[in-house]
Structure 1
Amino acid sequence: MTKRPNFLYFIADQQRADWLGCYGHPVLKTPNIDAIAAQGMRFDNFHTASPVCMPNRASLLTGRYPSLHGLRYNGCRLPLSANTFVSQLAEAGYNTAAIGKSHLQPFTDMPPIGVNADEVADRPDAWRWDDGNYGQEEPGRYTADGRYDFKTPYYGYNHVDMVTSHGDKCGGHYQQWFRERADDWEALHDPANQLPHDYTCPQANRTPIPEDLYPTAYIRDRAIAHLDSCVGDDAPFFTFVSFPDPHHPFNPPGKYWDMYAPDDFDVSLPFDAHQNPTIPMKWLHANWQGAGGQTTPQTAMMLDEQHIKEAMALTAGMMAFVDDAVGDIMAALTRNGQLDNTVICYNSDHGDYMGDYNMLLKGALPFRSITRVPFIWSDPENRKAASSDALASTIDIAATVLDRVGLKPFNGNQGKSLKPVLEGAAQVRDDVLIEYNDGGRRLGFDKPARVRALVSPDWRYTIYKDQDWGELYDLANDPQETHNLWDSADHFAIRAQLAERMNQHLMAQMDESPLADRLA
């Protein structure tokens, strides 16, 4: 090829790996994303660095775990001084753009939950923040008419079309655009005006917002416009297209609302399928049976089978809209003659329990439903269908993109390039580390949960800070993680081996950057 490849990177929000046709979903149809997989590598054992939005998105950009990059849990912020692979691409001459959800800084102005008053008292942090602009995703920036003048570069992106939050009431540039185009925008946002429906699952809302004014449509159209603007540009592009769906609330617009029916779906892994539920699972079950409700709308919960099937049907509708948008964007890429030199990626920031053990949403329990996500890489150098069982992580993306371009990752990057796997190697790592840090007390924990999980081809080993219990699952013989072997005397030896390996990973959570420039 005459120049470095372009990149078109699609990412969905809160989509588990098996919620795509090409990953084997028996009901959901995703022909456009499947078409990308039919001309690329589908990674079947790809895991998040952290199964929650902000930390994992920061890990994607930096190739570093939350412990190092600093955005440890939702509500934190990624330091503007952090290096990203997008910054490296921009410095190498790439036209870099982020269209849709970014979530590298908080997009609400609400205080944290589940934290004691003395824990948030006015006292200095260990680090002094720079004087940079850390409020660009906050709602107050987008209340005025017109378009907020977003200050770039933004973690390496030189063009930003910001969409914040989820559902039909997203903020950011989308919100300003929506108000300009809908004279009755306040009525369209009023829950009292939702369209009639018979769903009773939490957060089901039949939005009156038409399809062409829904956030997915905005992101689709802005992405196409940006790709059109790149035609004739000698610079290669990296375009990050980030959909806030299929994240709850459950409100697919127009025809997507009833595209799927609850009876199309099954709850194949109910709570009773787990042989020895952990303490948080028991807490969730008791909370459900006692009608305890959620701490926040984002907090994991248990629901009955009908409510879960309703959530599945509405999630499928949202996912169908995303798939249609992907198809339209791909058509524009082809029409513009850009496809032949563009790497196409599809990914998600984390999954959703989506009915496993009657649970919904995400939380401190790192089941594969929330840690295993889709990752597809379609490269113009080899547009052939393939799949790989190689273990891979979100932290590997930065190193892989840079390797494909011919750039070295910055010092302190913790990822491994997946380029050898793309070229036929069996694997590049023996296991992956997954971090989870909560910002408040939930699910029965007496303090914000701190969780570390180690996943190998055959095992998942999980420790919880200050708890005398943990998890050990034999993935080879129990891939659905139904039997916790933590207390099994027959498995103490493997538990010890995995603990030693975990210690190696935890020792590696020391920042190797910057390098010393003096002997002493």
Structure 2
Amino acid sequence: MRLRFPALFCMFLALALQAAKTTHAEERPNVIVVLCDDIRWNALSCAGHPHLKTPHIDSLASEGLYFENMFCTTSLCSPSRATILSGLYAHAHGVTNNFTDYPAQLDSFPRRLQQAGYETAYIGKWHMGEKSDEPRPGFDYFVTHKGQGKYFDTEFNFNGNGRRVVPGYYTTVVTDMSLDWMKEQGKKSDKPFMLMIGQKAPHSFYFPEPKYQHVFDDVEVNYPHSAFHLEDKPEWITKRLKTWHGIYGPIFDWRKEFPDDRASSVVDFARMVRAYWGTILSVDDSMGRLIAYLKETDQYDTTMIVFLGDNGLLEGEHGMVDKRTAHEASLRVPMIIRYPKWTNKSGPQRVAQQVLTTDVAPTILDAAGAEPMSGIHGSSIKPIVGNPNAKWRTEWLYHYNYEKQFPYTPNVRSVRGDRFKYIRYPHGDGSADKHMAELYDLQNDPSESTNLINNPDFKQTVVEMQKRYVNALKRVGLTEATDKMPLDQGIGTALPDKDIR
């Protein structure tokens, strides 16, 4: 049958629009961000862990970007999560503790993606605003729970339309819900999507899935050597040993009678560490299921996958558990990005430059071609992909504010350079610091075993790092006078309230 010109024109126009739409969609990747809670930088086999085997996460690293020096700017869950969303330091976004929600009017990368035509979802542990499980701005679909959630049988709020307990293991349940959402998304929309998955694991209290409860039973676990060499460390670290955040304390309820500094009490510490490892095996299973789905639906190579942690975790280093401090185990987080469009020329690589949680938001927006956020502290990592000599940061500011609910860590301010790290502990009232400062040569002493702050050979280095600290403050809009913090009320020994642990 012969087509008249208007019909023929309409047909060609429709085909052209569809082609343009398809091309545009191909240029805009789907984005999946998997955010683990309290995962150490080395708790993956691709990071060299001697016991953990994480083949699915490793596959992302072998095909994408593995960040050797990835750090959080505040080692505490809520402040760090707000930084990941906003690209801002905690003093700028306002979430400086674990009880403050993300400000409703504050910009975020999910909001920018929404504006760019993405369907957005958050499923899992939100961990900002402990008492609310209602939907948050920036997400078309939002499923979370109040507080920490439980490893088994958590009650979820489904997009503000009702709450119900979902039976099963948290990691598996959240993965099920994520896969269901992606399948539904594929049926009803051809928009690109951004999905954030908030895993509870491996946050305390650690309860592995039954099949992984005994995987590490035969692995010998001891206190690290650094726990017994505190002579050159600030006194507050020794005072912390028998508290909620010390190795002789209750160690997240794995020790029932405490404090206990007997050598035999290491068995409680070992049980805790093995359980922590066990929860990570389920996270790797989850990643395997997500990868399999993307491959089955031919979306694997058009999806940017970001796997990271919100903060690090001390596993006995310097006699400490938990996080909050400026020591390496507390600061460092794993991050892997698989996005073939950025690596098809350079290939997979291990990125050595210092990358921060402030860089996550601008990186995702850059990949999506969305409008960037202004006035933020982070930068897209795209310029350093395949270019190890690209100009990039060589130092950065770390800060943490003393919490009266968890009085086991002072105010912390630090500048970490490529080689040296300087840490100080301001009192909070403008008076002289009450705690000894710390200086570490990370090149020659990556485990921070020797504090060089009083070593006369490094006197000039201290002066230089103090100047770099002031400059690091300026780069995030602060001075020593405007850097507000609470008063350090000293190391406490009482346990935190049960409902906030």
In which range does the TM-score fall when normalised by the shorter chain? 0.7 to 0.9
What SS does the corresponding residue of 2:330 show, helix, strand or coil? helix
Q: Would you say 1:481 and 2:448 are equivalent positions?
A: yes
For 1:456 and 1:156, the matched residues in 2 are separated by: 35
Residue 505 of structure 1 deviates from its aligned partner by 2.2
Q: Would you say 1:173 and 2:157 are equivalent positions?
A: yes
1:43 to 67, 70, 85: 67
Query: Any conservation in 2 of the 1:433–1:454 contact (CA below 8 Å)?
Result: yes
What corresponds to 1:432 in structure 2? 396
What corresponds to 2:334 in structure 1? 374
Q: 1:357 to 1:167 in 2, by over 3 A?
A: farther
Write the mapping of 1:4-23 to structure 2, written as runs, cut at 5 A: 4-23=28-47
What SS does the corresponding residue of 1:416 show, helix, strand or coil? coil
Q: Would you say 1:460 and 2:421 are equivalent positions?
A: yes
What corresponds to 1:415 in structure 2? 378
**228-237 vs 347-356, which moves further:** 228-237
Provide the identity percentage. Answer: 26
Query: Any conservation in 1 of the 2:226–2:449 contact (CA below 8 Å)?
Result: no
Query: Any conservation in 2 of the 1:437–1:451 contact (CA below 8 Å)?
Result: yes
2:171 to 216, 221, 226: 216
For 1:302 and 1:413, the matched residues in 2 are separated by: 46
Residue 425 of structure 1 deviates from its aligned partner by 3.5
What SS does the corresponding residue of 1:173 show, helix, strand or coil? strand
For 1:302 and 1:409, the matched residues in 2 are separated by: 52
Query: Any conservation in 2 of the 1:264–1:313 contact (CA below 8 Å)?
Result: no
For 1:250 and 1:54, the matched residues in 2 are separated by: 19
For 1:268 and 1:290, the matched residues in 2 are separated by: 13
Tell me the number of residue pairs that the alignment of Structure 1 and Structure 2 aligns: 433
For 1:290 and 1:9, the matched residues in 2 are separated by: 32
What corresponds to 1:307 in structure 2? 268
Q: 1:480 to 1:406 in 2, by over 3 A?
A: same
Write the mapping of 1:115-514 to structure 2, written as runs, cut at 5 A: 136-137=132-133, 150-151=134-135, 154-164=136-146, 165-168=148-151, 170-173=154-157, 213-231=168-186, 233-261=189-217, 263-285=219-241, 293=249, 304-363=265-324, 365-381=325-341, 382=343, 384-426=347-389, 428-440=392-404, 442=406, 449-466=410-427, 467-468=433-434, 469-510=436-477
- Can you give the 5+ residue segments of structure 1 that lack an aligned partner in the other structure? 108-135, 138-149, 183-212, 512-520
Residue 294 of structure 1 deviates from its aligned partner by 6.0
Residue 155 of structure 1 deviates from its aligned partner by 3.5
- Can you give the 5+ residue segments of structure 2 that lack an aligned partner in the other structure? 1-22, 428-432, 479-501
What SS does the corresponding residue of 1:263 show, helix, strand or coil? coil
Residue 260 of structure 1 deviates from its aligned partner by 1.6
Query: Any conservation in 2 of the 1:366–1:453 contact (CA below 8 Å)?
Result: yes
Q: 1:255 to 1:292 in 2, by over 3 A?
A: closer
Q: Report the RMSD for the aligned CA atoms in angstroms.
A: 2.8
For 2:89 and 2:223, the matched residues in 1 are separated by: 33
One-letter amino acid matched to 1:323: D
For 1:171 and 1:55, the matched residues in 2 are separated by: 24
Provide the TM-score with structure 2 as the length reference.
Answer: 0.80
Residue 14 of structure 1 deviates from its aligned partner by 0.3
For 1:23 and 1:219, the matched residues in 2 are separated by: 25
One-letter amino acid matched to 2:296: R
Provide the TM-score with structure 1 as the length reference.
Answer: 0.77
Q: 1:394 to 1:386 in 2, by over 3 A?
A: same
One-letter amino acid matched to 1:156: G
Residue 443 of structure 1 deviates from its aligned partner by 5.1
